[in-house]
A = this chain, B = another copy of it.
Amino acid sequence: MGVTAPAGFTAAGVPAGLKSTGKNDVVLVRNLGPDFAAAGVFTSNRVAAAPVKWSRQVLADGRIDAVLLNSGGANACTGAEGFGNTHRSAEYVADLLKVSAGDVAVASTGLIGQQLPMDKLLPGIAAAAAALAGTQDASDQAAAGIMTTDSVSKQVSRVVGDSTTGQVIIGGMAKGAGMLAPALATMLVVLTTDAALTSEQLDAALRSATAMSFDRADSDGCMSTNDTVLLLASGASGITPDAAEFTAALTDACQELAARLIDDAEGAEHTIAIRTFNAATEADALEVSKAVSRSNLVKTAVFGKDPNWGRVLSEVGTTQAAFEPDELNVAINGVWVCKNGGVGEDRSLVSLEDRNVTIDIDLNAGTAQATVLTNDLTHDYVHENSAYSS
């Protein structure tokens, strides 16, 4: 489980005092090779943090030897000094690990607009470098070190292939508190594998996997300045897996991590899967699911255990997707409360007691579909709203 699950990786997480809690906040993940291929996806926010700008440069040649991560500070909107600090951190890692600074990716999470305390970060890096290990404990310490308001750490592993073809392993860790997350719910993910794949192959697999996982998890509609997903391949297994099989396993791993991010969203009481189907195109289905996932009124209704399908329909009506209003059907937890754009089955049949909620939206316009994960909006904030119609 985690980033040390595949052969060829070590990791460490240590407390360096960046977080006032004294918990782990500086993390290293090292690829021992023999391959050092890598791929990454980053936030599309035009106000990108210094470590995002740095890591994009690092990835230009498709190689990463080590990843430095920290919680306790996003290093975003910190100007030339902030970029200089990221650069200096990477140089320091490179010196300690005897690698090139241009092959050290950096990812940060925390408050925007504050310089990182380099007097704490550099000793933390030294401690982490000294603690690097391939054990499960090292993986656990690393996963803990990237947490901010996460209540649990998130790690994952998958096996690709069988005894005939040979097996490769995918490991990973993620942080992100979803809804209401401070400093914009930065999502940091590091995935590792001992498969022998080129950076181009990794890039194709990672883009496909993230499009079907993290890109379809939307807790509060707010895009971070720091989102980073990295995939490192050591080639230590000596096996090059079937591309489709590898991509499927990577997608599955990313979907598990995405679901766990949404499950751990601060204050959330429900995880909501919004599936739009019978759409003319997948883009239509995604537009509708995303629109509904961003509706505070839908989210407050779910918190209030109110199967308020009118709010779903109203949100569908704001999209450009192909549909006729009087041909829309909506089910909440399997009960078709809206049929043909109007009242359907008895809404009192819907139970919203369970953590997991499904909203199915039938556009009646084709055969495509897409699912987006989100959570409810909770607490007294929504009291008036959620109590109104129930």
A residues with a Cβ closer than 8 A to B are 44-48, 74, 76-79, 82, 111-114, 149, 180-184, 220-225, 266-267, 294-297, 300, 308-311, 313-319, 325-326, 328, 338, 340-343, 377-385, 388-389
Contacts and interface: CB of A to CB of B under 8 A. Distances in A.
Nearest to A309: B113
Given A46-B318, A113-B313, A184-B314, 10 more contacts: A47-B313, A47-B328, A76-B310, A77-B310, A77-B342, A182-B385, A220-B296, A221-B294, A222-B297, A379-B381
B180 A343 contact: no
Contacts of A378: 381
Contacts of A47: 313-314, 316-317, 325, 328, 341
B318 A385 contact: no
A342 to B, nearest CB: 4
A267 B381 contact: yes
A88 B311 CA distance: 26
A-side binding surface: helix, strand, loop or mixed?
loop
Given A78-B342, A294-B221, A296-B221, A381 B384 contact: no
Contacts of A382: 180, 379, 381
- In the complex, the count of this chain's copies comes to 2
B384 A149 contact: yes
19 contacts: A45-B318, A46-B318, A77-B343, A111-B310, A113-B343, A180-B296, A180-B297, A180-B300, A180-B381, A182-B388, A183-B388, A183-B389, A184-B311, A222-B311, A222-B315, A223-B314, A296-B296, A378-B381, A379-B380
Nearest to A300: B180
Given A112-B313, A183-B389, A317-B225, A220 B297 contact: yes
A326 B266 contact: no
A178 to B, nearest CB: 11
Contacts of A310: 74, 76-77, 111-113, 183-184, 225
Contact of A314 (B79, B224, B294): B224
A204 B311 CA distance: 32
Nearest to A377: B381
A317 B183 contact: no
Contacts of A114: 343
A171 to B, nearest CB: 30
Q: A74, A315, A338, A385 — which one has the most chain B CB atoms within 10 A of its CB? A: A385
A314 B385 contact: no
Contact of A326 (B76, B79, B388): B79
A82 B112 CA distance: 51
A184 B295 CA distance: 10
